[in-house]
C-alpha cells in the first residue's frame, strides 16, 4: 500500500513539474505589431501617399463623395510578430501552437473590430519570430466621423500611408496555446503594440 502511494506521489510530482515547465515556456511567448500592408481606403492604395495633396482629383472626389454618403471603408493586413525564445538555455526547446487568438482592435483609443484567427499558428522554439496576418475590414466613418473629413483621411494615412505610425493601433488579444496537457488560455488580454514584445 505504501509503495502504491509513493508511486502516485512520484507520478504526480513529475506531472506537476512538466506542467510547470509548460507554463514557464508559454509565459515566455511574446507578441508585437510588425506592420501594416495593402492598406486601401475606399479601394485606393495608400502605400505611396503621405498627405491629402498626394491624391489625384478623381480619388479626392471619390473620398469626398463617400464621406458625404456616410462611408469610408478601409481594408488592410495587420501583421503580428510572435517570438518564441524556448530554444534551450536553461529551458527545454518547445514549439508552441496558438490555437485560439481572440482579439480586439483599438485605433486612437476607440474600440473598432474584434475577431479570431482562422487556423492554428505554429511558433517554432528556435529563438526566432513568426509573423502571421490578420485581415482587417472596417468603416472609418462609422467610428471617427465626428472628427471631420480631413482628420479621418489623415488617420488613414498615418496607419497605412507611406510612413506608417503604428502607435495609433493597439491589438488586445487573449491567446490559447495547445500543450500535451490540453489547451492553456492566457489569464487575461495582453496589449500588442509596435514598440516592444508583450
| 140-172 pLDDT per residue, tens | 999 999 999 999 999 999 999 999 999 999 999
User: Which grid cell sits at 164?
Assistant: 506608417
For 54-96, write each residue's pLDDT tens digit. Answer: 999 999 999 999 999 999 999 999 999 999 877 555 556 778 8
Question: Nearest-CA neighbor of 37 among 153, 119, 159, 128?
Answer: 159
The dihedral built from the CA positions of residue 143, 43, 159 and 103, taken in this order, carries a sign that is positive
pTM to 2 decimals?
Answer: 0.82
Rounded Cα–Cα distance for residues 67 and 46 (Å): 17
Rounded CA separation 193/165 (Å):
11
Cα–chain-centroid distance for residue 34? 9
Cell triple for residue 9?
Answer: 506521489
Amino acid at each position: 500500500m505504501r509503495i502504491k502511494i509513493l508511486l502516485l506521489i512520484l507520478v504526480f510530482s513529475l506531472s506537476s513539474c512538466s506542467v510547470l515547465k509548460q507554463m514557464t515556456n508559454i509565459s515566455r511567448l511574446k507578441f508585437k505589431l510588425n506592420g501594416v500592408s495593402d492598406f486601401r481606403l475606399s479601394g485606393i492604395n495608400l502605400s505611396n501617399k503621405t498627405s491629402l495633396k498626394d491624391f489625384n482629383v478623381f480619388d479626392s472626389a471619390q473620398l469626398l463623395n463617400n464621406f458625404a454618403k456616410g462611408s469610408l471603408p478601409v481594408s488592410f493586413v495587420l501583421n503580428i510578430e510572435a517570438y518564441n525564445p524556448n530554444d534551450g538555455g536553461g529551458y527545454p526547446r518547445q514549439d508552441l501552437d496558438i490555437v485560439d487568438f481572440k482579439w480586439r482592435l483599438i485605433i486612437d483609443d476607440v474600440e473598432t473590430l474584434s475577431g479570431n484567427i482562422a487556423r492554428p499558428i505554429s511558433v517554432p522554439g528556435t529563438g526566432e519570430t513568426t509573423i502571421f496576418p490578420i485581415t482587417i475590414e472596417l468603416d472609418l466613418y462609422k467610428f471617427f466621423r465626428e472628427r471631420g473629413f480631413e482628420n479621418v483621411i489623415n488617420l488613414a494615412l498615418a496607419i497605412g500611408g507611406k510612413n506608417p505610425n503604428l502607435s495609433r493601433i493597439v491589438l488586445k488579444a487573449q491567446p490559447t496555446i495547445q500543450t500535451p496537457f490540453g489547451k492553456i488560455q492566457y489569464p487575461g488580454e495582453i496589449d500588442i503594440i509596435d514598440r516592444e514584445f508583450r
